[in-house]
Every structure is written in structure tokens, then in C-alpha cells.
Chains A and B, each alone.
Chain A
């Protein structure tokens, strides 16, 4: 069965430091991968998806099929980046999102 693993429940970094939120998945096919973000008191929203290869709010994520990873990175963390981040996948031909348990990012001023 497909599974998404986010090994860190909480990640604290100083403002201006680089950020990497880890995500690994187990799935034998070709999934589509996403990062969702939930800011305090706001709804869950899409941050980026791997097929669009965009950089949103300075965040990027590269799909590494060899390592089955989709880590989220930002070179310089900002205080407004503090939020819950969820990695999710959809397997080919489906629509069901499978989410990881999430990582809480705390950016220290």
C-alpha cells in the first residue's frame, strides 16, 4: 500500500537559515506528489505539486524516484513560514490523496 512518511513532527530553525522538510513515500508506480500547508487558524491549502515544477513562496521540492523522496526546501526561512506542512501523494489514475502526518515548522526570530 502507498504510504507517506514525514519523519519530523517538529522542526525549529532560525530566521534566515535554510529549511528542509523531509518526505519519503512508498509506492511502486509513478505517483504525483504535493506539499500542503496549514497556517495558524487557516484552512489546508496547496503549496506546490511536483509536476508544475514551480517555486512558491521561495519553496521548491524535487522528486527523487531513486530515493523515493520529495523533500521541501527553502534557502532562507521567514517567520511567516511557521506552519504545519503535509506531504501527500496521488497514485497514477486515482484522485485519493494519501497524506503524511505532517511536520510543524517553527521559525525563530
Chain B
């Protein structure tokens, strides 16, 4: 597609449930990033993929968070046993390579009630 697509745009879930957030990067972009933006804060790094592998997952807050990119294109961020503190906008970005500028998606607003 022409840009980075994220679905759903909004997700409301109950505490303790499992959620999946999807990111469809720009075609041909090998680098894919997930960021999380809490209210009143700038985006914070979660994980970086180069191709199919997670090159850096140091930003994932705990083991309830996991992300995959099995074919080197679409990525899914998975959150188990959601907590109210997980409520945030989850941003995906892609780039042609690790040292190029990012293109961000519109984000998924996750609300845990």
C-alpha cells in the first residue's frame, strides 16, 4: 500500500484479555518498528524487526508483550493478560533500512477497561 496501515484503529478490551494489533508496512520496507505512546508522552520504542527477525526487543515492557513478523512484511503485536496500564496508542513505523527515515502509521488506540 501507499502508507503504513494499522488495524484496528481503536480497540477496547477488558482487563485480563488477549489482544492482537496488526501493522502492514510499506511494500519493500525491510525495517519495522513498534512504539507505544501514553497520554502526554512522546512515543517510546518497543521492538525493531529487520526482515523476519526481531533485531532488538529491548523496549518490550515485560513478557506479556510479544511481536512477530513471520514473512518479513505484516507484523502483529500481541499482548496477553492486558492491564489498565497497557492503555496507550501503539504506533508502527517502517523504513527501507535501519538508517533511513521512518514512516509512521496512524496507530491503534488500545483502551483496557
Give residues in A with beta carbon < 8 Å to B: 4, 9, 34, 42-46, 49, 86, 88, 95-102
Main secondary structure of the interface of B (DSSP, over half): loop
B39 to chain A, nearest CB (A): 11
- Say whether A101 contacts B107, CB under 8 Å: no
Alpha-carbon separation in the docked complex, A36 to B56 (Å): 23
Alpha-carbon separation in the docked complex, A43 to B48 (Å): 19
Name the one of A42, A45, A98 contacting B45, with C-beta atoms under 8 angstroms. A98
Number of B positions contacting A (CB below 8 A):
23
B20 to chain A, nearest CB (A): 21
- Say whether B98 contacts A49, CB under 8 Å: no
**How many contacting A-B pairs (Cβ < 8 A)?**
44
Given A95-B31, A95-B99, A96-B56, also A45-B44 (CB < 8 A): no
- Say whether A99 contacts B98, CB under 8 Å: no
Tell me if B91 is interfacial: C-beta within 8 Å of chain A: yes
- Say whether B42 contacts A88, CB under 8 Å: yes
